[in-house]
Structure 1
Amino acid sequence: MMASAPILPSTYDRYRTRLETYFDRTASKAWEQLTSDAPVSSIRATVRAGRERMRGTLLSWLPDDLTGIRLLDAGCGTGSLAIEAAERGAEVVAIDVAGSLVAVARRRAPAHLAIDWRVGDMLDPALGRFDHVVAMDSLIHYPASEIVATLRALAGRTNGSIVFTFAPQTPLLMAMLGMGRLFPRGNRSPAILPMRDRLLRTLIGDTIPTARIGRDQRISASFYTSHAMEVLTA
């Protein structure tokens, strides 16, 4: 069965390289602006609001006091989640394939926060073990089989939970993705691969027998739609 097979390095690397190219060469300035307080278009404003709600949701699924907790922000972008987690006491390793976004995160982070900013692969075993992993909107560009293979790899090095997001396959989101071809190029996102939550649940259960699914929540804010899911590894 395809879901039980490991990630093929060539396939995984192809998707990862595509994202790195998009963010570093095409969209770094747009994402720096989107994740700031700068004025943005009405389309981007809804995406910003949706992402803020999603970030708050994922952080609320973690302990209130993160002192002594080692956390991986897998796909940290410009660092908002990593910074909030560090302010709550977490020892954060924040990694992203896009060096330009990590550079923005480093500039924005308060000097007193000891965040380990990295440019590279979230699956790098050299990153070590973690108590919790957060992957916010960093897996939405991968097919279901590779999302689950990624979760399986991370579960082997996580003591508590993995909280991640995926793009739900809803009629509204599919319509918006189709409409996206009509938007100005500056408002476009990299390719998103919507999927059904029931499929992910089945694949996770079949592929990661030592884990169980906890909470889940869908957030829709006009042009932002994302579904959060918690995988408990302990």
Structure 2
Amino acid sequence: MATLPAPTAASVAAPTRYDAQRDKLAAYFDGTARKAWIDLTSDAEVGGIRATVRAGRERMRATLLDWLPEDLRRKRLLDAGCGTGALSVDAACRGGHVAAIDIAAGLVEIARKREPSFLGHGRIDWSVGDMLEPSLGEFDHVVAMDSLIHYRADDLVDTLQLLGRRCHGSILFTFAPHTPLLGAMHAAGKLFPRGNRSPAIVPINEQRLRRRLAGLHGWRVGRSERISSGFYTSQAFELVRR
């Protein structure tokens, strides 16, 4: 679920404001929220609010998978912020070679345990750390589902530009679209239920984001889909080569 880039030798203009968020995100997903996220991404019974979040995330994952080729054999995919690994497994079952990375070691540990014993032609390389790590190599597709929602629009676009240098096909990512409700919740610091509150989610105006993305070298926005399910609201964008 959580991953964030840090400056590397390969990053000419690394995104800003990430260092402060790194410790917050790692502490949240490996600490207070670990059990909640394990339950949320399993078949365990959850309460009403989390049930709507689970349903929304399942719909979003299905949408992103639908935007990927049905046959991923001989394709490399980066699951940036893999969490407990559901999307990585689905992509690998299509034959993809998946690099699954997350900043939360505890979630990656669960993902490894949940990996099926048989993935057909696919494979998954699990790792903990930075999605911009140069050693991860290059990819045909990159997916960042709900892993960039804690960052401002400028940082999000800078991150996509860096990912785009290592991707040949498509980049699929989600952001928290600005709505009156999300804006008010963000201002009040209450985007998650009390007791399991995450580092702040940053609502982003869709049209402003589109204008920023228009400046991405070599990329354009393709498909878009907004999914709302109770407490879950997220919007997917597809970036494709010009």
What is the TM-score with the length of structure 2 in the denominator? 0.89
Whole-angstrom distance in 1 between the partners of 2:98 and 2:205: 31
Corresponding residue of 1:79: 85
8 A contact 2:182–2:191 mirrored in 1: no
Cα pair 1:74 1:138 within 8 Å, conserved: yes
Confirm or deny: 8 A CA contact 1:176 1:223 kept in the other structure: no
Asked if the contact 1:169/1:195 (under 8 Å) is kept, the reply is yes
Q: Following the alignment from structure 2 to structure 1, what is the Cα–Cα distance between the partners of residues 35 and 147?
A: 18
Match of 2:103 in 1: 97
Q: Could you tell me which residue of structure 1 aligns to residue 9 of structure 2?
A: none
Matched-pair contact (CA < 8 Å) for 2:144–2:174:
yes
Confirm or deny: 8 A CA contact 1:155 1:233 kept in the other structure. no
Corresponding position of 1:192: 201
1:201 and 2:201 correspond: no
Q: Distance in 2 between matches of 1:69 and 1:182?
A: 36
d(CA) in 2 for partners of 1:64 and 1:175? Answer: 39
Q: CA deviation at 1:125?
A: 1.1
Q: Cα RMSD between the aligned structures?
A: 1.7
What CA deviation, in whole Å up to 9, does each residue of 1:36-92 have, x standing for no partner? 000111000000000000000000000111111100000000000000000111100
* Partner in structure 1 of residue 226 of structure 2: 218
3-state DSSP of counterpart to 2:223: strand
Residue aligned with 2:33, SS? helix
Q: Superposed, which structure 2 residues align to 1:1-234 within 5 Å? A: 6-8=13-15, 11-113=17-119, 114-177=123-186, 178=188, 180=190, 183-186=193-196, 188-206=197-215, 208-233=216-241
Q: What amino acid maps onto 1:157 in structure 2?
A: R
- Structure whose residues are more often helix by fraction: 1
Name the CA distance, whole Å, in 2 between partners of 1:144 and 1:39. Answer: 35
- The letter for the 1-side match of 2:190 is G
Are the aligned partners of 1:162 and 1:233 in contact in 2 as well (CA < 8 Å)? no
Cα deviation code 1:119-157 (max 9, x no counterpart): 000011110000000000000001111100110000000
- Cα shift at 1:197: 1.2
Letter in 2 for 1:86: A
Q: Tell me by how many angstroms 1:172 deviates.
A: 2.6
- State the number of aligned residues: 227
Question: In 2, Cα distance between the equivalents of 1:44 and 1:167?
Answer: 17
Q: For residues 177 and 36 of structure 2, what CA distance do their matches in structure 1 show?
A: 24
Q: Distance in 2 between matches of 1:145 and 1:101?
A: 28
TM-score, normalisation: structure 1: 0.92
Check whether the contact 2:15–2:159 (CA below 8 A) recurs between aligned residues: no
**Aligned counterparts of 1:89 and 1:221: Cα–Cα separation in 2:** 30
Give CA deviations for 1:171-202 in whole Å, capped at 9, x if unaligned.
1323455483794313x333100011111111
Structure 2 stretches of 5 or more lacking a match?
Answer: 1-11
Cα separation, 2, equivalents of 1:183 and 1:148 = 28
Quick one: structure 1 residues 8 and 179, their matched pair in 2 at CA, closer, same or farther if it must change by over 3 Å? closer
CA gap 1:202/1:100 in 2 versus in 1, 3 angstroms: same
- Could you tell me how far 1:7 is from its partner in structure 2? 3.0
**Equivalence for 2:3:** none
Give the gaps of 5 or more residues in structure 1: none
